[in-house]
Amino acid sequence: MSRIDATFARLRQAQQKAFVSYVMAGDPDPATSARILAGLPEAGVDIIELGLPFTDPMADGPTIEAAGHRALAAGGGVTATLDLVRAFRQQNDTTPIVLMGYYNVVFGRPGGVQQFLTDAVEAGIDGLIIVDLPPEEDAELCLPAQEAGLNFIRLATPTTDDKRLPAVLANTSGFVYYVSVTGITGGAAADAATIAPEVARIRKAAGLPVVVGFGIATPEAAEAIAGIADGCVVGSAIVKRIGEGQPVDEVLAFVRSLAEGAHRG
C-alpha cells in the first residue's frame, strides 16, 4: 500500500476528508521552504503537493507563477526540489508528497525520464501530477512512473465529459484531482453545489478518491468543498502569503485553519 493509499484509508477510518496543501519547492528560498515543508504535517496537512519550479506554468495564475520565478532565482530546480524532499524524509516517513509540474522539467533532466523517476523514488516522492501530458502520451511518463512505484494522478475538469473520462482515468492511481473551475489557479471561487454532481460522477467511474482543487481560499470554502468530495487542495492562498513575506509561523497558522475546515467537511 502506497503512502497515498494508506492516508486515504486512515482518513476513511477516522471519517475525515483529506486536506492537501500546495507549496512551491524552494519558495522564497531553500531554507524558508524547508521550514514550511517540515511544518505542514503538524499543521494538519494530509498530503503535500509540491510544485516543481518552471518558467512557463500554463495552468497556473500569477501567484504561483511568481512563486516559481522566486524559487528559480534562489537556485531552485529538480535537484534542489529532490534535496528538499530528502531532508523532509529524514524527519517524516509517512506524509505523502506529490510533485506537480510540467513535462519540460522532467524531459530536460540529465538522464531523461528514467533517471528522473529513479531520483524521485529514492528521494521519497509518492506521486506525480504532470499538467501538460494527456492520456495519449502515457507511454512518455505515466506508465514508466507506475512501473517505478509512483502514483500518477490525473486531472479531470468541468469539460471532461463521459466520452473523455475513461481515457483520463485509464492509468490514474492514488486519487483523481478535479479542477473545480475552468481557467488557471487562483481564479474564480469553487461552488460546492455545482461541483457535487461532477465529483459523484467521477468517483463512480474511477473507483478512487476525488480531491477538488482550484478556487478554494478560506477555511469555510475548504469545509464546503471537502463536504462533497474526498478532500480539497489549497494552493494560491497559501503561496500568496509566502510571497508577501509572512513569517513561517503565520503561514502555518493559516494552513492549520484550512486543514481544520477541510477535516470538518
Which residue is listed with cell 468517483? 203
| 112-123 vs 78-89: helix crossing angle, rounded to 10 | 20
Catalytic residue among 27, 46, 60, 138: 60
Q: What is the DSSP letter of 44?
A: T
Based on the residue annotation, tell me whether 65 is a catalytic residue of this protein. no
Based on the residue annotation, tell me whether 60 is a catalytic residue of this protein. yes
Q: How many CB atoms lie within 10 A of CB 157?
A: 16
Cβ contacts of 73 within 8 Å, gap of 6 or more: none
Give the whole-angstrom CA distance, residue 38 versus residue 118: 23
Helix (H) or strand (E) run with residue 142 in it? helix 142-147
Catalytic residue among 46, 49, 119, 230: 49
CA of 184: how far to CAs of 65, 73, 81, 109, 228, in Å? 11, 23, 23, 26, 22
3-state secondary structure of 41: coil
Residue numbers annotated as active site? 49, 60
